[in-house]
Structure 1
């Protein structure tokens, strides 16, 4: 075996150390999400909440692998975003932004953490209200969650990306909702947040991806966005875009001094994974980022919208395709949902009844976590009960 082959082998889930790094990143991002949800209250500033999520991830990851000889990169893998109501995704405003939350807002919270480039991502939908979620808000969240639960059961060796695309559209239709177009679920690899194996949310003539089968020891970020509207996202204001990723295969000699300064800072601090312009010097960033984007040195993550009045829900989770089944490592409990109609489609019920884990022989005990840590049982998923509201959650 060559050194390259050995290194490639060591960096997938066949290595216990790699699995540990994924799960450690997941534990941190799950707790960061919990912290942000708890702070989401009327009149809270969105930028403060986003910064709180990122700060928690930076602080927690800084305490890990401090005493190893080789320097291990760690920190935010995707900046915290809080997209409200008909805003679909990627809203992570600059420090000068004064936007606040209001009672009744539907919030999509999206964030990611990595340890040594092994990435755990999560997105969750939370409604700023007391008591059960009812009406169309319950429908759109139940659609996203049920689609996520179905995807969890279909992203496994032997199944293909097309199987998942077709299934999640059927689930959304059962709640009279749409899967939002253009959202991609990607394979994750070390320092790669958008791997080549992709699951398309909606098939249409404009968007095509290569057919792919899932394989053991792969990792995926499953990304589900549902809407009560048409599911056709629109870019309303380019100035709202604050999240970018270095396009590592592109080079260009920048003309403006501000652009060169910002690009040098990006290469130093954020050479591979997405970052927020909030982390850069704001005045120079405004000038310099435009030239960097115009010459394809940076890939922007635009803030996208549905029409005003449309409701949008977002659920994203990271799943490890382990030898003993699928291991969902990121999630957050949902509020109680009371959708307007029961889930009755027999095919969807059959998908939800599929197990996630392969039963272990001999009924072995669950592994205990590290000292002071709860054993992680979030992935021992039972077949989901679709007869309630189609929105069972995993703690």
Structure 2
């Protein structure tokens, strides 16, 4: 066996070291989730809560693998997002944003952590109220939880991605809810948060995926979003988009000085993982990010919305196929 083949083999779940790194990342991100949940109170600023989640991950990952010979990258794999009520995903506002949490809000919290590029992501739905959740909000939460459990049981070697798609649609229908269109569950690899093998939550005209079969030692982030609305989210305001990922296969000579400055900062700080524009110099970022996105140097994660007044919820599970 060549050195390259041996190294490739060591980077999957047959390696105890890799499994340990995944588990360490999972432990940290789950603790970070508890930190965020404890800060989610009426009148709390969303941006402050998001920053607490990111800061906790940075602190905790900085305390592990400090004394190894080879430098190990570690930190935030996906910025903390708190998407409220009919906001479906990716809401992680800038420091200047004044949006507050209110009593009765339905919050979808999601975030990610990595150790040496091995990624653990987690999400949790939290209703900002005392007592039991009832009505349609309870229906959609139960639907998402059940769908996630079904998907988890179907992620087994030899099963097909289409089987998961079909099963979770049946679960949503049983609760008179809709799977939100365009949501993908990706295979995770080292330093890759959106691998080529995917599970499509619901077939739609705009989104198509290749048939795929699950194999041993693969890792997936299962992303299920269910709504009491029509399941067709829309981009309402491009200015709300704050999360981006460097498109490593794209190159372009930027014209604006501010764009070159920001892109250089991104390339140094966030060469692979998604990041929040909150971590950049805000004034320059406002101008520079536009040109970077327009020329496909950055992949944006848009903030999408369902119809107002429609409860929606999502579950993400970190899955290891044994």
TM-score (ref. length: structure 1) = 0.81
* Structure 2 residue aligned with 1:264: 264
* Structure 1 residue aligned with 2:15: 15
Cα distance in 1, alignment partners of residues 4 and 182 from structure 2: 35
Tell me, what secondary structure is at the counterpart of 1:48?
Answer: helix
**Is the Cα contact below 8 Å between 2:76 and 2:113 reproduced in 1?**
yes
Q: CA deviation at 1:204?
A: 2.2
Cα distance in 1, alignment partners of residues 209 and 128 from structure 2: 37
* Structure 2 residue aligned with 1:154: 154
Aligned: 1:208 with 2:205: no
Cα distance in 2, alignment partners of residues 270 and 317 from structure 1: 24
After superposition, what is the alpha-carbon deviation per residue over 1:343-388, rounded to whole angstroms, capped at 9, x for unaligned?
xxxxxxxxxxxxxxxxxxxxxxxxxxxxxxxxxxxxxxxxxxxxxx
* Structure 2 residue aligned with 1:185: 185
Between structure 1 and structure 2, the one with the greater Rg is 1
* Structure 1 residue aligned with 2:166: 166
* Structure 1 residue aligned with 2:98: 98
* Structure 1 residue aligned with 2:137: 137
Q: CA deviation at 1:39?
A: 1.1
Q: CA deviation at 1:151?
A: 0.3
Cα distance in 2, alignment partners of residues 230 and 5 from structure 1: 48
Please list, as runs of the form range in 1=range in 2, the aligned pairs for 1:31-110 lying within 5 A after superposition: 31-110=31-110
After superposition, what is the alpha-carbon deviation per residue over 1:134-164, rounded to whole angstroms, capped at 9, x for unaligned?
1000001111110000000001111100000
* Structure 2 residue aligned with 1:252: 252
Tell me, what secondary structure is at the counterpart of 2:221?
Answer: strand
Tell me, what secondary structure is at the counterpart of 2:75?
Answer: strand
* Structure 2 residue aligned with 1:127: 127
* Structure 1 residue aligned with 2:217: 217
Cα distance in 1, alignment partners of residues 6 and 131 from structure 2: 53
Greater helix fraction, Structure 1 or Structure 2:
2
Q: CA deviation at 1:110?
A: 0.5
Aligned: 1:241 with 2:261: no
TM-score (ref. length: structure 2) = 0.99
Q: CA deviation at 1:6?
A: 1.1
List, as ranges, runs of 4+ consecutive aligned residues in structure 1 with deviation greater than 4 Å: none
Q: CA deviation at 1:4?
A: 1.9
**Is the Cα contact below 8 Å between 2:182 and 2:204 reproduced in 1?**
no
**RMSD value, Cα:** 0.5
* Structure 2 residue aligned with 1:319: 319
Cα distance in 2, alignment partners of residues 315 and 4 from structure 1: 37
Cα distance in 2, alignment partners of residues 166 and 297 from structure 1: 35
Give the gaps of 5 or more residues in structure 2: none
**Is the Cα contact below 8 Å between 2:78 and 2:273 reproduced in 1?**
yes
* Structure 1 residue aligned with 2:24: 24
Q: CA deviation at 1:46?
A: 0.1
Cα distance in 2, alignment partners of residues 104 and 60 from structure 1: 31
Tell me, what secondary structure is at the counterpart of 2:81?
Answer: strand
Cα distance in 1, alignment partners of residues 147 and 34 from structure 2: 22
Cα distance in 2, alignment partners of residues 4 and 195 from structure 1: 21
**Is the Cα contact below 8 Å between 2:39 and 2:49 reproduced in 1?**
yes
After superposition, what is the alpha-carbon deviation per residue over 1:172-217, rounded to whole angstroms, capped at 9, x for unaligned?
1111100100000000000000000000010123221111111110
* Structure 2 residue aligned with 1:273: 273
Cα distance in 2, alignment partners of residues 152 and 163 from structure 1: 12
Cα distance in 2, alignment partners of residues 197 and 24 from structure 1: 24
Give the gaps of 5 or more residues in structure 1: 323-395
Cα distance in 1, alignment partners of residues 221 and 4 from structure 2: 26
After superposition, what is the alpha-carbon deviation per residue over 1:10-41, rounded to whole angstroms, capped at 9, x for unaligned?
00000000000000000000000011111110
Cα distance in 2, alignment partners of residues 206 and 29 from structure 1: 33
Please list, as runs of the form range in 1=range in 2, the aligned pairs for 1:362-377 lying within 5 A after superposition: none
